[in-house]
Amino acid sequence: MIELLAPAGNLETLETALYFGADAVYMAGKQYGLRAFADNFTEDGLQQAANMTHAQGKKLYITVNSVLWNRDLPGLEPYLCYLAEIGADAVIVTDPAVLQLIKRSNIPLSVHISTQANTTNYLSASFWHECGASRVVLSREVSLAEIEEIRKHIPADLELEAFVHGSMCIAHSGRCLLSSVLTGRSGNRGACAQPCRWEYHLYEKGYEGQYFPVMEDDQGTYIMNSRDLMMIGHIPELAGAGVSSFKIEGRMKSAYYVASVVHAYRRALDAYERDPQGYRFDESLKNELVKSASRGFTTGFYFGNPHEEGQDTQRLLDPRTYTFAGKVVSAPCAGVVEVEQRNKFSVWETLEVLSPHLENASFTVESICDMEGTPQESAPHPQQHVKVNCPYPLRPGDLLRRHDERESI
């Protein structure tokens, strides 16, 4: 069975990932992870996450994949012991120091080697296995043919995990110094400022104040902006190459993004596993992923180097036309749902339902009331709880979105 692995940057995205069908989630504590600006989890929060995940029969992986300095080591062993105590199913590791501590102190933790370790060949994968790793998260730069070759030359009990969806980095598997050089915030220490997404112009020395677009575009150019990875249309190829865990990128992303992506991949994986031989990809799932927002899509390096096809240098491919309107909190009575507002919506607008229990459902908002029953023309206040008419038996955790009537750019 293929594992669907989803990101969780906070408690809400954790709940969302599990609700929409993830088999496992990965997250970070307040230290040693590579997403310092995600909310992340306190130690009590990690315990709560472990309890919630295991109660649903699912797995929890904790990132301990920061580049480590001497000053980081004193607190590392106690932290690893705590992760073992709460029942983390594995830690995701880049630095060999973590492996050494786990082995030396006999800490009962499984180890997954992070994509930051840049594993691109079978000898490296076998090396990590000999060091005690049970899984390797492959470099994003390997092709399907290379993954298949790696799988043939490594021990049968060494699992292969690969990213199948989400942001791509211009640096080799994310090992980038650009943020550190420009801002002092190291991407290898969890503090990337994403300067590869910035807008750039050229200027000639001696002509200060005169800026020239790199492309003929009055908005500048996004010369390092990569398209997002999307492999939902290639599940048989990934499975055939030997990938046993499909990883979604996005610990900085919203609950809406996590819901949309997990939901689409869950449906595709379930269809494939029901009938691998007769599997036919449902093209409508690509549209579901477009609704989650993106920078345009690429298959990355899976079918060879994408070159310019992997880049969106003019920022012209963003197809977002959907807005996350609200999250269902409860269904107090038939025909009514309690919604926590996330973006403004109004009476007579049409909302789509995003739910693991209901497909292709939408309805027109005919009434909005506050929790005291006072009618409102709209729900303009951030995270306000309102009651909304709804013809469907929605459940807590279902999401509502609005289609914005504008052309994609």
Of 9, 1, 24, nearest in space to 262 by CA: 24
Lookup: tokens for 245: 């865990």
CA–CA gap between residue 396 and residue 380 (Å, rounded): 21
**Burial class of 351 by CB neighbour count within 10 A (0 to 12, 13 to 18, 19+):** buried
- Tens digit of pLDDT at every position of the chain (409 positions): 999 999 999 999 999 999 999 999 999 998 776 555 556 789 999 999 999 999 999 999 999 988 888 999 999 999 999 999 999 999 999 999 999 999 999 999 999 999 989 999 999 999 999 999 999 999 999 999 999 999 999 999 999 999 999 887 766 565 566 666 567 666 555 566 666 656 666 666 666 666 655 553 444 445 566 788 999 999 999 999 999 999 999 888 899 999 999 999 999 999 999 999 999 999 999 988 988 876 778 898 899 886 656 555 455 445 557 899 999 999 988 899 999 999 999 999 999 999 999 999 999 999 999 999 999 999 999 999 999 999 999 999 999 999 886 543 3
The model carries a pTM of 0.86
Question: What backbone torsions phi and psi does residue 10 show, to the nearest 5 degrees?
Answer: -160, 180
Lookup: tokens for 90: 């594995």
CA–CA gap between residue 328 and residue 388 (Å, rounded): 10
Q: Which secondary structure element, helix H or strand E, spans residue 63, and what is its range? A: strand 59-64
DSSP string, 79-122: HHHHHHHHT-SEEEE-SHHHHHHHHHTT----EEE-GGG---SH
Q: Which secondary structure element, helix H or strand E, spans residue 332, and what is its range? A: strand 322-333
